[in-house]
Amino acid sequence: MLAFTVRRLLLAILTIWVISVLAFAIIQLPPGDFVTAYIAQLSASGASVSEAEAVSLRELYGLGQPFYVQYAKWIVRVIAGDFGVSMEWNRPVGEVIGDRLWLTMLISFAALILIWGLALPIGIYSAVRQYSIGDYLFTLIGFIGLAVPNFLLALVVMYLSFRFFGANVGGLFSSEYELAGWSWDKVVDLIKHLPLPAIILALGGTAQLIRIMRANLLDELRRPYVVTARAKGIPEYRVILKYPVRAALNPFASTVAYLFPYLVSGSVIISIVLSLPTVGPLLVRSLISQDMFLAGTIVLLLGALTVVGTFISDLVLMWVDPRIRHQLD
Amino acid sequence: MLARLFNAKPAVEDAATAEERVAVASQLKLTWWRFRRHRLAMASGVIVILFYLAAGFADFLATMDPHDTESARSYAPPQAIHLFDDVSLRPHVTVLRARRDPRTFRMVHDQATKVDLGFFVEGYPYALFGLIPTTTHLLGLKGAQPGETLHILGTDRLGRDLWSRLVVATRVSLTIGLVSVVISLFLGVLLGGVSAVYGGIVDTAIQRVIEIVRSMPTIPLWMGLAAALPNDWSVTRIYFAITVIIALLAWTDLARVVRGKFLSLREEDFVTAAELSGAGQLRIIFRHMLPSFLSHIIAATSLALPAMIISETSLSFLGLGLRPPAISWGILLQDAQNIEALALAPWMLAAAAPVIVIILAFNFLGDGLRDAADPYG
Amino acid sequence: MVEPRAPGSPILSVRDLKTYFQLDEGIVRAVDGVSFDVQAGRTLGIVGESGCGKSITARSILGIVDKPGRIVGGEIWLRRGADQPVDLATLPANSAAMRAVRGKEIALIFQEPMASFSHYYTVGNQIIEAIREHSDATPRQARDRAIALLDTVGVPQPERRIDEYPFQLSGGLRQRVMIAMALACDPRVLIADEPTTALDVTTQAQILDLLRGLQQQRGLALILITHDMGVIAEMADDVVVMYLGRAVEKGKVDAIFHAPRHPYTRALLRSIPSIMAAPRTKLATLGGSIPHPFNRPAGCPFHPRCDAFMTGVCDRAVPAALAGPDGSEVSCFLYGERP
């Protein structure tokens, strides 16, 4: 069990490292160097930068030195919490991102909970009542959920609500709370706005998970231990819930590990359509305007948080699976 | 699998019954028979073929030059096609001709006129399959005056014909998926196969790489990579760069499938038998193992394609994938991104329809293929 | 060998049982008209090659045939003490009445102890569940009883083992736990479906000893399903030989072994390795293999592999069961009337 944890932890750290290299590559990719662009940006806004300042900036970022030196300098600053400066906003990147990162995670997490809550009972129903009308119905809905990319769904929901209710359903806050500091009322407001983006984000994943749960359970329902349980004379519903469902739950739970990155990815796109104050719109804007420190930082932080989330879900999974728990002996 | 189970020699030498046909059929034949039973998958297969045909004949199906802009036609709504004029069969559309007043430069609308529809009419010049220069199009207006144009699905902000753009976009969106799938299939089969065949440290390393790729939120990463493509690249170059980026996102699933199949097949009796009879490693892989999971690969491919198409559409939708003047479904949907445009011209959402239809079709097809390939899996 | 008791009235009587599977490809007649009686304190061996319908027969008795399988005909009479006998074939599979029979009156031991346990619960949990389902025992009482049961079946350190997971036990131990679970509610009929197939030879002998001992202590009626003639010889009082869903021969174990009548039974007996045989002689095998169920031959299902095959007779009609001495039966044209 310890070995398992350590292995997972090492893998998570390795993954975060790979992400950080990729993130830095993204920062480095655009032609020209950052300091020149930054100075040009500053002079355009009226401030002037002396030659000495420019030299010290170049020194700070290790420009002109090999990639790995620049990377090392950058990662050391990142670990210290200094993500660099956003050119477009002329403010430290950390400040620009602000609450947006947590809101991204919040939406993804809400969608995850929703997916679980929906896919589990529907998957069980569909497997136990295989080929029933309900099964076909859910399969159909599931296929639609699978086929409609969530940004399209967001577009359609936007259009319909605009058309029939005349309301813009975008955003996560009512206008009066948008710029206000955090308060209890703001949290309540957020909770009110959360369901719609969460549902839109959850649909595709729910469809996928229903299929996984259904297939796993169908598989487990044919196992000998189910016959054993039946032969004991236990009522059918208890046989199913206690044995095959428990077994099917495991691969189901492990799907969280890849569902979470997928949700974070998805949230980036639907945020743009629904103009949610997450990192999504910020990322797209920074990428288009080549505000690379902002873009790179967002990629890094999103990636790192996703990996941490996956790691935690792995640990939970390990705790609930006796086979992994007892790997010690 | 089933073939081996059924391989009991037919006991009775009587007429070739249906049972005996099952007993002697090859793996591929059995797969095909099982596949034929999935009506939905069969229908989806037909739809997929139709889509690719449409992609091949995109210009022939287009009614107007998809790049032809005309501000006078901005956001023109779809025209209804009338089959009958009073009682006689005369397919036509009612065209509201708009023209610029030569002196005031203002738009004036002439009275609505009925213009006949015709098949195989003259239109903008193009080269069929990039080879045969022609001007014939399947559908168009007969004897149209200048300014009289056909817009089955309306026009966009720049007055470009949406239907024509949609069919031309089909070509880009469908082929980008195909090329990506080929690249990721190559990566997947190669790495999955290597992982399974060599095992040990190679396997572990490849497995870790797969785990790492799978635990990253891919879209932000690929967005970053796509955004870094230089602005001055040509449309074709961007197209291939995007293809590669999308393929990098998808190969892990295929690699897992291939590795899993390789590993389970290696334990099978017929592989052991081949080994014992002295067949070489390559011969075993290509002659014995590959045929028995070819159908799995086909199924996995057809399930991977929709993800590719969604990736391209999403990236282009965000303005980070293909760039105009290229036309893809994502680029068309990009025009429908803001609520104002949608409120003004809801037909801009038309590009969503082929996306949904083709993704559904590929999913049903893939499911049918997978069931047929592995009825017990 | 156990001294067979005097045959009384059977606890369980199966009459002309038919269990079919309705598949897309056609109907599979997994069990096609099987009859036998089981008596308290006696062991009935059901023997045949894999795929002959032995296991489906056992599951039919308990009403746990997987879909699309269904009992389409026949009767399964269970006699319980002074009560009226009940026909299990008429009880709905999930009815309370049927569930009261499962585990309580008739218990089942499976072939693969590894796959027959859930690996998400301790063995104790899975035994206690059966006890509490059929009695009012408190959790404490049920646990004590489970420990006692484990002790009975020879599991060492039952207090500790009860909290272990199936994957932590050895194969033999798992099978003992499986037997303990089957005995949880003092059933009167125990069906053991290939109980030793997945075990090594020494463990096999121990498990068979255990079953025999338990049968003597508790007066169990035991149905032993196996493909192993050796196990039959050692354990059974009465034998049913099955081929392709039909009972081709029935009789006392001595009669079956010393005077087999059906060509299939004879072929099965020839295929037992014997230490009496001369060295390096080839072991007799049964030619061909069981035809696929969809490919069921016309006439006597065994005729393509039969060494006494009579053209124009055996491939025309299905032989009826012919009663012989001492309650024996054989279905073969060698003995009865020919068409």
Distance (Å) from the alpha carbon of B284 to chain C's nearest alpha carbon: 28
Going by their DSSP bridges, the two strands C69-78 and C12-23 should be labelled as: antiparallel
Q: Give the model's pLDDT for residue B97.
A: 63
B6 lies within 8 A of chain C by CB? yes
Q: Mark which residues 36-65 of B lie under 8 Å from C by CB.
A: 37
Subunit contact B228:A143, Cβ cutoff 8 A? no
* Optimal mutation site among C64, C110, C114, C225, interface A, most CBs of chain A within 10 A: C64
Subunit contact B19:C298, Cβ cutoff 8 A? no
Q: Give the model's pLDDT for residue B10.
A: 37
Subunit contact C288:B11, Cβ cutoff 8 A? yes
Subunit contact C181:A236, Cβ cutoff 8 A? no
Subunit contact C298:B11, Cβ cutoff 8 A? no
Looking at A105-109, B6-10, B281-285, B360-364, which range is the least confident one?
Answer: B6-10
What gap in Å lies between CA C317 and CA A69, rounded to an integer?
Answer: 89
Greatest mean pLDDT range, B8-12, B273-277, C50-54, C154-158: C154-158
Tokens 């010049």 correspond to B125
Residue-wise pLDDT tens digits, C229-248: 888 988 999 999 998 888 89
Smallest Cβ–Cβ distance between C289 and the set B8, B12, B19 belongs to: B8
The torsion angles phi and psi of A70, rounded to 5 degrees, stand at -60, -45
Q: Tell me which amino acid residue B18 is.
A: A
Q: Contacts of residue A1 in chain C, CB cutoff 8 Å?
A: none
pLDDT at residue A328 tops 60: no
State pTM to two decimals.
Answer: 0.76
Residue-wise pLDDT tens digits, B308-321: 888 888 888 888 78
Q: What is the mean pLDDT of chain C?
A: 85
CB A39 within 8 A of CB A49: yes
What gap in Å lies between CA C321 and CA C329, rounded to an integer?
Answer: 6
Subunit contact C181:A230, Cβ cutoff 8 A? no
Residues on chain B bordering chain A, Cβ-to-Cβ distance under 8 angstroms: 208, 211-212, 214-221, 223-225, 227-228, 230, 306, 310, 313-314, 317-320, 333, 336-337, 339, 342-343, 346, 349, 352, 355-356, 359-360, 363-364
DSSP string spanning A145-195? HHHS-HHHHHHHHHHHHHHHH-----SSS-HHHHSSPP-HHHHHHHHHHSH
Subunit contact C288:B23, Cβ cutoff 8 A? no
Residues A168-182 have a mean pLDDT of 74
What gap in Å lies between CA B123 and CA B141, rounded to an integer?
Answer: 9
Subunit contact A236:C118, Cβ cutoff 8 A? no
Residues C107-135 have a mean pLDDT of 89
pLDDT at residue B60 tops 60: yes
- The subunits that touch chain C, with at least 3 C-beta pairs less than 8 Å apart, are A, B
Tell which wins on pLDDT, C176 or B222: C176
Q: For residue A64, with 0-12 CB atoms within 10 Å meaning exposed, 13-18 middle and 19 or more buried, which class applies? A: exposed
What gap in Å lies between CA C275 and CA C268, rounded to an integer?
Answer: 17
pLDDT at residue C3 tops 60: no
Tell which wins on pLDDT, A123 or B271: A123
Greatest mean pLDDT range, B82-86, B134-138, C8-12, C134-138: C134-138
Q: Within 10 Å of residue B57's Cβ, how many Cβ atoms?
A: 17
Band of pLDDT at residue C156, cut at 50, 70 and 90: very high
Distance (Å) from the alpha carbon of B8 to chain C's nearest alpha carbon: 7
Q: Which of C181, C186, C203 is nearest to C117 (CA)?
A: C181
Subunit contact B355:A152, Cβ cutoff 8 A? yes
Q: Contacts of residue B371 in chain C, CB cutoff 8 Å?
A: none
Distance (Å) from the alpha carbon of B265 to chain A's nearest alpha carbon: 20
* Nearest chain C alpha carbon to A231: C102
Q: What is the CATH number of domain B165-372?
A: 1.10.3720.10
Residue-wise pLDDT tens digits, A210-256: 888 888 888 888 888 998 899 888 898 999 999 999 888 877 776 76
B16 lies within 8 A of chain C by CB? no
Q: Which of C179, C189, C194, C182 is nearest to C52 (CA)?
A: C194
Residue-wise pLDDT tens digits, A112-145: 889 888 988 999 999 888 888 988 888 888 878 8
Domain boundaries, chain B: 79-150, 165-372
Q: Which of C202, C209, C200, C211 is nearest to C178 (CA)?
A: C211
Tell which wins on pLDDT, C80 or B165: B165
Tokens linked to B290 = 């590959």
pLDDT at residue B13 tops 50: no
Quickly count helices (H) and strands (E) in chain A.
18, 2
Looking at the DSSP bridge assignments, the partners of residue B88 are B85
Tell which wins on pLDDT, A65 or B53: B53
What gap in Å lies between CA A106 and CA A109, rounded to an integer?
Answer: 5
A136 lies within 8 A of chain B by CB? no
Band of pLDDT at residue C202, cut at 50, 70 and 90: confident
Band of pLDDT at residue A31, cut at 50, 70 and 90: low
Q: What is the mean pLDDT of chain B?
A: 75
Domain boundaries, chain A: 2-92, 98-328
Distance (Å) from the alpha carbon of A119 to chain C's nearest alpha carbon: 22
Subunit contact B211:A30, Cβ cutoff 8 A? no
* Nearest chain C alpha carbon to B12: C297
What gap in Å lies between CA B31 and CA B18, rounded to an integer?
Answer: 16
Q: Which of B248, B308, B252, B212 is nearest to A306 (CA)?
A: B212
What gap in Å lies between CA A125 and CA A63, rounded to an integer?
Answer: 60
- The subunits that touch chain A, with at least 3 C-beta pairs less than 8 Å apart, are B, C
Q: Give the model's pLDDT for residue C77.
A: 92
Looking at the DSSP bridge assignments, the partners of residue C20 are C29, C70
Residue-wise pLDDT tens digits, C266-316: 888 887 776 666 666 666 677 677 777 667 778 888 888 888 888 888 888
DSSP assignment, residue C219? T
Band of pLDDT at residue C61, cut at 50, 70 and 90: very high
Angle at CA of residue B56, ends B51 and B61, nearest 5°: 80
pLDDT at residue B39 tops 60: yes
Smallest Cβ–Cβ distance between C104 and the set A233, A236, A247 belongs to: A233
Q: Give the model's pLDDT for residue A34.
A: 66
Looking at A66-80, B18-32, B181-195, C104-118, which range is the least confident one?
Answer: B18-32
Q: Which of A73, A7, A8 is nearest to A34 (CA)?
A: A73
Distance (Å) from the alpha carbon of C329 to chain B's nearest alpha carbon: 27
Distance (Å) from the alpha carbon of A326 to chain C's nearest alpha carbon: 8
Subunit contact C167:A326, Cβ cutoff 8 A? yes
Subunit contact C99:A247, Cβ cutoff 8 A? no
Cβ-based contacts under 8 A for chains B and C: 32
Band of pLDDT at residue C60, cut at 50, 70 and 90: very high
Subunit contact B359:A31, Cβ cutoff 8 A? no
* Optimal mutation site among A225, A237, A241, interface C, most CBs of chain C within 10 A: A225
Subunit contact A162:B227, Cβ cutoff 8 A? no
Q: Contacts of residue B12 in chain C, CB cutoff 8 Å?
A: 295, 297-298, 304, 315
Tell which wins on pLDDT, C3 or C38: C38
* Nearest chain B alpha carbon to A154: B337
Q: Give the model's pLDDT for residue C5.
A: 42
pLDDT at residue A8 tops 50: yes
Q: What is the CATH number of domain A98-328?
A: 1.10.3720.10
Q: In this prediction, does ipTM exceed 0.85?
A: no
Distance (Å) from the alpha carbon of C232 to chain B's nearest alpha carbon: 28
Q: Mark which residues 275-304 of A lie under 8 Å from B by CB.
A: 283-284, 287-288, 290, 295-296, 298-299, 302-303
Residues C20-43 have a mean pLDDT of 87
Band of pLDDT at residue B16, cut at 50, 70 and 90: very low
Looking at B79-83, B110-114, B273-277, B298-302, which range is the least confident one?
Answer: B110-114
Distance (Å) from the alpha carbon of C46 to chain A's nearest alpha carbon: 19
C50 lies within 8 A of chain B by CB? no
Helix (H, G, I), strand (E, B) or coil at C29: strand
Greatest mean pLDDT range, A99-103, A293-297, B342-346, C155-159: C155-159
B240 lies within 8 A of chain C by CB? no
C292 lies within 8 A of chain B by CB? yes
What gap in Å lies between CA C205 and CA B253, rounded to an integer?
Answer: 48
Q: Mark which residues 183-242 of A lie under 8 Å from C by CB.
A: 222-225, 227-236, 242
Cβ-based contacts under 8 A for chains A and C: 80
pLDDT at residue B7 tops 50: no
Tell which wins on pLDDT, C125 or A159: C125
Q: For residue B140, with 0-12 CB atoms within 10 Å meaning exposed, 13-18 middle and 19 or more buried, which class applies? A: buried
Subunit contact C295:B23, Cβ cutoff 8 A? yes
Going by their DSSP bridges, the two strands C43-47 and C26-38 should be labelled as: unpaired
Cα C106 from chain centre: 12
Q: Tell me which amino acid residue A326 is.
A: H
Residue-wise pLDDT tens digits, A58-110: 777 776 777 888 888 888 988 888 888 887 777 888 888 888 888 888 898 89
Q: Give the model's pLDDT for residue C131.
A: 92
